[in-house]
Amino acid sequence: MLAKRSATLPCRSAAAKPVVRVPASRGRLQVACSSHAKFFVGGNWKCNGSVASVRTLVDELNAGSVPKGVEVVCSPPYIYIDYVMQHLDAQKFALAAQNCWISGNGAFTGEVSAEQLADFGVPWVILGHSERRALCGETNEVVGKKSSHALAAGLGVIACVGETLEQRNGGAMWTVLDAQMKALVDEIKDWSKVVVAYEPVWAIGTGVVATPEQAQEVHARLRAFCAKHLGAAVADKLRIIYGGSVNDANCAELALQEDIDGFLVGGASLKGPAFIKICQSGAAKAQP
């Protein structure tokens, strides 16, 4: 059985409440839950920014206060990584790339390898984001192999999973999530540098956010899956973070859910003060 985090943060696994035509899953999820790892916030800047806007964003982030017990990474487009590395306060923020190649260096025009990222000093990479799955045709198996290779090269991996609205409405949500997780389990041997990001596709960039109960239900199910396939010790330490229109107005309530160990933030990560507030929402769970 997984240990409880605290008596003040009860595990909530009740059936979710519907929000904006997004139905709850069926039935109650009975699991023992909680992780005991440092709260984690990632800012995914996606394909956004200019020299001027990146400079402004970096200045805003540096001016903000981040709880010491919260781990924060920022993920700029490749072309701005060097500037961000040179100017972003490394005492508060680490860097993540938004993708990497499935294998090592070679004749792969347009790609960047995990080895190159590690060599340049980038410690994290986001893999399997729904936009890459949908727009670039990345399969579960590809995401699993990419994750395994990136870990072997020394990177930490933020591995994304999530269902579409059609899959949720059609009752296939758990089947889809289980398949995405199984592809990771089949390839990854050491989970100590893995963060799983649950990003319901219907909530990414839409302004529609899963209710805290909906998000907690899925996070608890993902942790139960890991406990079954990887063991309770791994599941207890695994950080499962939420992404999907997270902003400075809804982060506090989401952060209180027992199995939400942080956030992967899209649009709000481009606004320095808003992103800092999201980071601060993890203060209650901050660890040294």
Give dist(CA 260, CA 216) in Å, integer.
7
The token pair at 89 is 């306060």
253 is catalytic: no
SS3 state of residue 138: coil
The token pair at 154 is 């020394």
Which residues have a Cβ under 8 Å from the Cβ of 63 and sit 6 or more positions away? 272
Give dist(CA 41, CA 13) in Å, integer.
23
| From 129, 138, 163, 217, the catalytic residue | 129
199 is catalytic: yes
| From 131, 199, 217, 258, the catalytic residue | 199
How many CA atoms are closer than 13 Å to the CA of 236, on its beta-carbon side? 10
Of 166, 162, 172, the closest CA to residue 21 belongs to 166
- Which residues carry out catalysis? 129, 199
